[in-house]
Copies of this chain bind each other. A is one copy, B any other.
Amino acid sequence: MFRTFARAAGAPPRRLFVGSRGGGMRIVGARFLSQLQEPKEPHMATSEVPGPESQAALQRLSQLQDTRAVIFTADYNKSVGNYIADADGNMMLDMYCQIASIPVGYNSEGILRAAKSDQMAVALANRPALGVFPPADWAQLLEESFMRVKPPGMDMVFTATHGSDANEIAYKAAFMHYALKKRGGRAFSQAEMTTVMDNAPPGSPDVAILSFSLGFHGRTFGALSTTRSKAVHKLDIPAFTWPRAPFPQLQYPLDKHVKENAEEERKCLAEVARILKTNAVPVAAVIVEPIQSEGGDRHASAEFFRGLRRITEENDVLLIVDEVQTGCGATGTFWAHEQWGLATPPDMVTFSKKMQAAGFYHTRKLVPDQPYRNFNTWMGDPARAIVARAIVDEVLEKRLVEQVREVGAYLVSHLEPLGVRYHRIVRNVRGQGTFVAFDCPSTELRTELLDLMRREGVNMGGSGDVTVRFRPMLTLTKAHVNVFLARFQSVLNKMYQKHWP
């Protein structure tokens, strides 16, 4: 099986690189990229990851940036499909995918084609202030990209640049909407216009976004005030005194804890209702992830989310669904919240990561009462919308969401027995589509597992304190799952031999 890769990556000496400016490397001839072939299995050139070349690159980079979180330096010229190449010539099956943000494979032919288009060159050479001088064909590009996959009930899209940005702008829309309702059509008062310049009420009112314990919604100040995943994300940074509600902590396996789990969800919803009615600071919107991702792959039932929608409606509070990590097909529907069977759609749906662009969908009622209020210079990026269109094209044409459902079921069906056989390491297997996870009994065992998997040629990531999360591309196949399973079982055996000989 290794021959295919060896042939694709090795001799004859196709000189893909030439030395150029600054003594560095630059690619010559792009055609090779679409000729890259995905290997049939991982290929490890070094026994440790990061290897010596990664280490040397990091040494240089550490003069300019903080590199302590780096796992290895990659070679994106050689990465292909579901495989990431590193600087040492290692070729790893990637099930982490740049923190869940690669949708259709490295050096995807469709994205490369879009990247090489004249439209892309014009977009990169003429970045517009989209709110003031949009390109004449901007509407068409929106229609062909984001609007082609708009969630049910949404009819507008506000473009942004990354997930935190999308959430923050959605919060601003929620606060403007809240104030508009409260103001009841009257003009801004002189007191509002004056106090706002001092960040004081009534101009800067004390209103809140409600989020959930262990939720993650980004790292900028507004987003961070709703993020509740880990102390290290928030420590030392001022935050708004916004409330948080408990998110259900389900017990696994689900079918053995039906009653307890329903009771747990009921209690959490009751707490949401209590906060919305009694919180000292009025709540303008609730934000929730369909699956809490950074917080440790915590799920809740469709019924819980239907209940949440009902409660927000009863309290005239907006519901924002954060699909930054769950969106774009990974859970087996294009948007994870489509699986909830809502009677009325959420008010806003935010996205980023696998869309390789960012923003939020909304309905017309969330357009502010005046222009320039929810505004910034760039307001997104046509170059990224062109990439998003290529992604949407590929996902729909290749029916990748359907593939995700099938491959995800295959993955879970093979993980579950391992969760029985290797219960000292693999617990609480769960997932929707290929958005799958399991828990380890400790952070230390998880770190050991991830390190060993990487040495075996499978790049994986964690979430929460003890969870291993699968965040493969939508292009993952059963063959990739088999490659993973073989190495996973080998690593589990090694760990058992070491810890429980």
Docked pose: A161 CA to B166 CA in angstroms: 13
Docked pose: A238 CA to B282 CA in angstroms: 12
Answer whether residue A253 sits at the interface, using C-beta atoms and an 8 A cutoff.
no
Docked pose: A117 CA to B175 CA in angstroms: 43
A339-356 contact mask (Cβ, 8 Å, vs B): 1 or 0: 000000000000001001
Q: Which residues of B contact A6 (CB under 8 A)?
A: none
A21-B144, A64-B157, A132-B69 in contact; A192/B235 too (CB < 8 A)?
yes
CB distance A135 to B236 under 8 Å?
no
A226 nearest in chain B by CB position = B199
CB distance A76 to B244 under 8 Å?
no
CB distance B168 to A161 under 8 Å?
no
Q: Which residues of B contact A27 (CB under 8 A)?
A: 117-119, 122
Docked pose: A98 CA to B142 CA in angstroms: 20
- Please provide the chain A residues from 168 to 184 with a CB less than 8 Å away from any CB of chain B in the complex: 168-169, 171-172, 175-176, 178-180
- Please provide the chain A residues from 193 to 243 with a CB less than 8 Å away from any CB of chain B in the complex: 193, 196-200, 203-208, 213, 218-223, 225, 228, 231-242
CB distance A192 to B222 under 8 Å?
no
Q: Which residues of B contact A242 (CB under 8 A)?
A: 199
CB distance A134 to B26 under 8 Å?
no
CB distance B33 to A179 under 8 Å?
no
A46-86 contact mask (Cβ, 8 Å, vs B): 1 or 0: 00000001100100110111111111111111010000101
Q: Which residues of B contact A231 (CB under 8 A)?
A: 188, 192-193, 196-197, 203
Chain A contact residues (Cβ within 8 angstroms of B): what range?
35 or more
Q: Which residues of B contact A66 (CB under 8 A)?
A: 131, 158, 367-368, 371, 374
Answer whether residue A428 sits at the interface, using C-beta atoms and an 8 A cutoff.
no
Q: Which of A37-45, A106-114, A257-265, A476-484 participates in binding chain B?
A: A106-114
Q: Which residues of B contact A375 (CB under 8 A)?
A: 69, 219
A393 nearest in chain B by CB position = B21
CB distance B199 to A225 under 8 Å?
yes
CB distance from A29 to the nearest CB of B (A): 7
CB distance B234 to A129 under 8 Å?
no
Docked pose: A106 CA to B126 CA in angstroms: 6
Answer whether residue A422 sits at the interface, using C-beta atoms and an 8 A cutoff.
no
CB distance B197 to A236 under 8 Å?
no
Q: Count identical subunits in the complex.
A: 2
Answer whether residue A120 sits at the interface, using C-beta atoms and an 8 A cutoff.
yes
A104 nearest in chain B by CB position = B125
CB distance A106 to B132 under 8 Å?
no
User: Which of B57, B122, B200, B383 lies in contact with A124, CB distance below 8 A?
Assistant: B383
CB distance B372 to A139 under 8 Å?
no
CB distance B121 to A30 under 8 Å?
yes
CB distance A377 to B162 under 8 Å?
yes
Q: Which residues of B contact A101 (CB under 8 A)?
A: 127, 129, 377-378
Q: Which residues of B contact A64 (CB under 8 A)?
A: 139, 142-143, 147, 155-157
CB distance B65 to A28 under 8 Å?
no
Answer whether residue A376 sits at the interface, using C-beta atoms and an 8 A cutoff.
yes
Q: Which residues of B contact A192 (CB under 8 A)?
A: 231, 235
CB distance A73 to B136 under 8 Å?
yes
Answer whether residue A13 sits at the interface, using C-beta atoms and an 8 A cutoff.
no
Q: Which residues of B contact A122 (CB under 8 A)?
A: 27, 33, 76-77, 107
CB distance from A23 to the nearest CB of B (A): 8
Q: Which residues of B contact A203 (CB under 8 A)?
A: 231, 234-236
CB distance A238 to B175 under 8 Å?
yes
CB distance from A61 to the nearest CB of B (A): 4
List 9 A-B pairs, minimum CB-CB distance, nearest first. A221-B222, A68-B371, A179-B236, A199-B239, A27-B118, A87-B136, A76-B126, A115-B124, A204-B239
Q: Can you pick out 25 interface pairs between chain A and chain B where the beta carbons lie within 8 Å of each other?
A: A21-B144, A24-B137, A61-B134, A61-B139, A65-B142, A69-B372, A71-B132, A73-B136, A73-B138, A74-B128, A74-B136, A77-B122, A79-B126, A98-B128, A101-B129, A111-B125, A115-B124, A165-B165, A175-B236, A188-B231, A193-B231, A197-B228, A199-B242, A203-B235, A203-B236
